Amino acid sequence: MNRLVLARKAFRDSRVTAIGGGILSFALALMYVLLFPSIRESFEEMDLPEYMESFAGAAGSYSTPAGYLATEFFSAVPITLIIFAIVAGTAATAGEESAGTIDLLLAQPIRRWRIIVEKALGIAAAVSVALLAGLPGIFLGQRFVDFDIGPLRLVAAMLATLPLLFLFAALAMLLGAALPTRAMAVAVATAGAVLAYVVHTLGILVDELSEVRKLTPFYWSDASKALIGDFEVWRSLVLLAVAAGLVALAAVAFERRDIAGGREGGWWKQFRRRRKGREHAPVEAAG
């Protein structure tokens, strides 16, 4: 099989993520930039509550371009694109199985672990296109309004956010390979993303949770620092390492998955068999 053909296939299969997410990212970026002058006029002479200022992170005031983008774009857009990434990630394994194309894929002369790795690369490319589409939206908005923030800092902020999307896409791939159905994998991954986001947000507002939020991937993906020229590469490397570890676990789970057993294969099928055995045991004993 040609090199990276599965990566290209995964990218094509994730076109909804790339195109739909890209349009969303571009439109929101453009809208936020065009709205900034009116937002700044409304808030520059107002003492904002401390909790609103804290959402800007290292970027400082909400009334500055950096603080405004950190609070609005880099808060709303990533959590939305995470959903796209989860859908694409589960499609890589459980999606092929539910569509009935997994047997054709496995019939090719290629190892299962390579299927996971190449599909991970294709999905990573799709979510990258979706997020980076926000850059031309910002640049276009800057042509019409005064929005003074350099392109290098914008690119750095995007690069600081990408590993967050990679991580949840990798988690979705793992769950898609380990859980019996795609619907279950999507539900668990989405619940995990929402829980992590809630904990991170509450950790900003509640002092008692300030340490707990450091365990969430949203804490490590801090675009506000990059927007002020303080791009901490090590934070991105931590997220990339976790994402790579999840992809490796997904490869192991996919290697062990009982495709021939249908959707309820592997450990899930064994669990159900043991459970049914325990349920019928008292009846048989009584008989």
Neighbours of 204 (CB within 10 A): 16
DSSP 8-state assignment for residue 19:
I
Model confidence band, residue 182 (pLDDT cutoffs 50, 70, 90): confident
In the chain, the amino acid numbered 100 is G
pTM: 0.84
- pLDDT for 92 beyond 70: yes
What's the chain's average pLDDT? 83
Torsion angle of C-alpha atoms 227, 230, 234, 237, degrees rounded to 10:
20
pLDDT of residue 259: 60
Inter-CA distances, 57 with 67, 71, 75, 81, Å: 7, 8, 11, 21
Give residue 4's pLDDT band: very low, low, confident or very high (50, 70, 90).
confident
pLDDT digits (tens, 9 = 90+) for 240-269: 999 999 999 999 988 887 665 444 444 445
pLDDT value at 287 more than 60: no
Task: Indicate the pLDDT class of residue 285, thresholds 50, 70 and 90.
Answer: very low
Can you give the pLDDT at residue 77? 92
> Where does 109-222 have alpha helices with state H?
112-132, 134-142, 151-178, 182-205, 217-220
pLDDT value at residue 49: 55
Render pLDDT for 144-177 as a digit per residue (tens, 0 to 9). 999 989 999 999 999 999 999 999 999 999 998 8
d(CA 9, CA 32): 34
